[in-house]
Amino acid sequence: MVVERGSVAWVGSEGAADSFADGVDEVIDLAGALVTPAFTDAHVHTTATGLARTGLDLTAATTLTEALDLVRAHAAAHPGDAVLLGHGWDSSRWPEGRAPSRMELDRATDGRPLYLTRVDVHSAVATTALLDRVGDLTGRAGYQGDAPLTADAHHAVRAAAFANVTDSQRADAQRAALRRAAALGIGTLHECAGPDISSEADLTGLLGIAAQTAGPRVIGYWAEAASSARDLEKVRELGAVGAAGDLFVDGALGSHTACLHAPYADAPPSTGTRYLDPTAIATHVALCTEAGLQAGFHAIGDAAVSAVIAGVRTAAEKVGLARVRAARHRVEHAEMLTPETIAAFAELGLTASVQPAFDAAWGGEDGMYAQRLGVERARTLNPYAALLRAGVPLALGSDSPVTPLDPWGTVRAAAFHRTPEHRVSVRAAFTAHTRGGWRAARRDDAGVLVPGAPADLAVWQHGELVVQVPDERVANWSTDPRSGTPGLPDLTPGLPLPVCVRTMVGGRTVYERPIE
């Protein structure tokens, strides 16, 4: 491969490459390693990812007691922090079956301000000292005494907590997250920013760092609903490519805030929370379409997905179906789908930006999904094979820090879905995590290593290269040498994942694994 001015200039045989050797600035011998397009993570919260890496991480806590011990140790180790920040508690996995109480957190922190997000980031717990900085929360939606904060109450407390993060802390966290992404072979991140989850300064600061330093590209989205064309001016001013990402139509299943048609199995009669109705969705989509911007929404529950479809259909009636399809609007997560809603995604040209690690973490008959919905409803979640069969474009991501940056693990989770009928081939998942991410951002000339494409690539140490597909009939055809289907690393659960040894973005090395 020859790289010139940041793009792939030529790909061919080793013998033919000799003719280029005298005219290049550098020759890199990869010693038989695997070269692939760099991954694109289509849904990331970069600052929160960096803060989780440098702050209090509760994802490994297996009991409430262990979580409180980690809080106590972190508070003792950071006496100068104005607000203690942490992430990742998941009471659905704890034998106690409940979140930390405010009194327990007050004792663990000796009365200091503390903000702890649940693993899905749609609810949080906080100490009294932090709540006092917000003022009266009792009248806000999502405040229920000592229960975890959700909805408006959660957004207010989150704003108070992150107001105490300094510019230097934020920049350090962003750089830490970008370094981690580069070390995993990720060449591009889609930053899902917005007023309810980060801030304008957070997004512009991140885009500035990404533009000025050697590292992964960052494509920014700003999730703020538009009711007039003027509202969309901010999107362009911030440097975002769309009014999309985590524009919340609902919340999350783990927090009982995803919006459902039928009540939660473990919390009847609740059907969750809806933040946007079809009328507001239609207005936003129509305005974005007319402005040439992508619209997009966070929708997890089946009622939220239905609201998105109803809104997009109404917008298509106003501005034209062809224009709506051409805009490639996005739906983030899109977990609870039916054959009818999948067909609507295909009809309306919607991209499904999905996170297979959610199924790996919470799927299965004993997982959190089954607790919240019952086994039968849980079994319908994240139907990737049906989406691909219907022609719905897929883009894979992590929603980090909800689940970690882990591209090969994400591909494995899609190929070995806990519900067998939802599995896709390793190659289909790999394509959705490379080229699919670029297409989700309306770039069709990237995510592949062909002449003219950006030279964003990763180099891997790997085991055996194989063809892995969920259907044995396809497997028999695909592994026939006459098919010409190239292999990818064997991702069978239990086997080690490939290790990144080099990542290049725009032809520049942004990560090189140290020699051990």
Mean pLDDT of 439-447: 97
- 488 has which bridge partners? 466
Q: What's the pLDDT tens digit per position in 123-153?
A: 899 999 999 998 788 889 899 888 999 988 9
For residue range 293-314, list pLDDT tens digits in order. Answer: 999 999 999 999 999 999 999 9
Q: Exposure pattern of 458-477 as b/e (b: 16+ CB <10 Å)? A: bbbebeeeebbbbeeeeeee
Cβ neighbours, 10 Å, residue 314: 16
pLDDT band at 244 (very low <50, low <70, confident <90, very high): very high
User: How long a stretch of residues is the chain?
Assistant: 516
Cβ–Cβ < 8 Å for 464, 455 = no
471-to-59, 409, 412 alpha-carbon distances in Å: 34, 21, 16
Instruction: Check whether 15 has a pLDDT greater than 70.
Output: yes
The residue among 317, 256, 304 whose CA lies nearest residue 277 is: 304
Q: Are 9 and 43 in contact (CB under 8 A)?
A: no
Is the confidence at residue 479, as pLDDT, over 60?
Answer: no
The string of pLDDT tens digits covering residues 91-127 is 988 999 999 999 999 999 999 999 999 988 888 999 9
pTM of the entire predicted model = 0.90
Q: Specify which residues 221 forms β-bridges with.
A: 192, 242
Q: Which residue has the higher pLDDT, 17 or 187?
A: 187
Question: Across the strands, what pairs with 4?
Answer: 7
What's the rounded mean pLDDT across residues 85-96?
Answer: 91
Per-residue pLDDT at 493: 96
Residue 179 has a pLDDT of: 97
Reference 183, options 514, 511, 515, 516; nearest CA is: 511
Task: Give me the helix-helix angle, 200-212 and 167-183, nearest 10°.
Answer: 50
DSSP class of residue 22?
Answer: G
* DSSP-assigned states of every residue in 170-219: HHHHHHHHHHHHHHTTEEEEEEEE-TTTS-HHHHHHHHHHHHHSSS-EEE
Asked whether the predicted pLDDT for residue 291 surpasses 70, the reply is yes
Which domains are delineated in the chain? 2-38+449-512 (2.30.40.10), 48-163 (3.10.310.70)
User: Which DSSP letter does residue 497 get?
Assistant: P
Q: What is the pLDDT of residue 81?
A: 87
Write out pLDDT tens, residues 338-359. Answer: 999 999 999 999 999 999 999 9
Report the mean per-residue pLDDT for the chain.
Answer: 93
- Give me the residues paired with residue 124 across strands: 117, 149
Q: CA-to-CA distance for 29 and 152, rounded, in angstroms?
A: 55
The C-alpha atoms of residue 331 and residue 312 are separated, in whole angstroms, by 11
CA proximity to 336, closest of 284, 367, 376: 376
At 481 the pLDDT is: 59
Q: Give pLDDT, residue 478.
A: 52
Positive/negative CA dihedral, 443, 216, 415, 122: negative
List strands edge to edge, sheet with 84-89.
56-57, 84-89, 114-118, 124-126
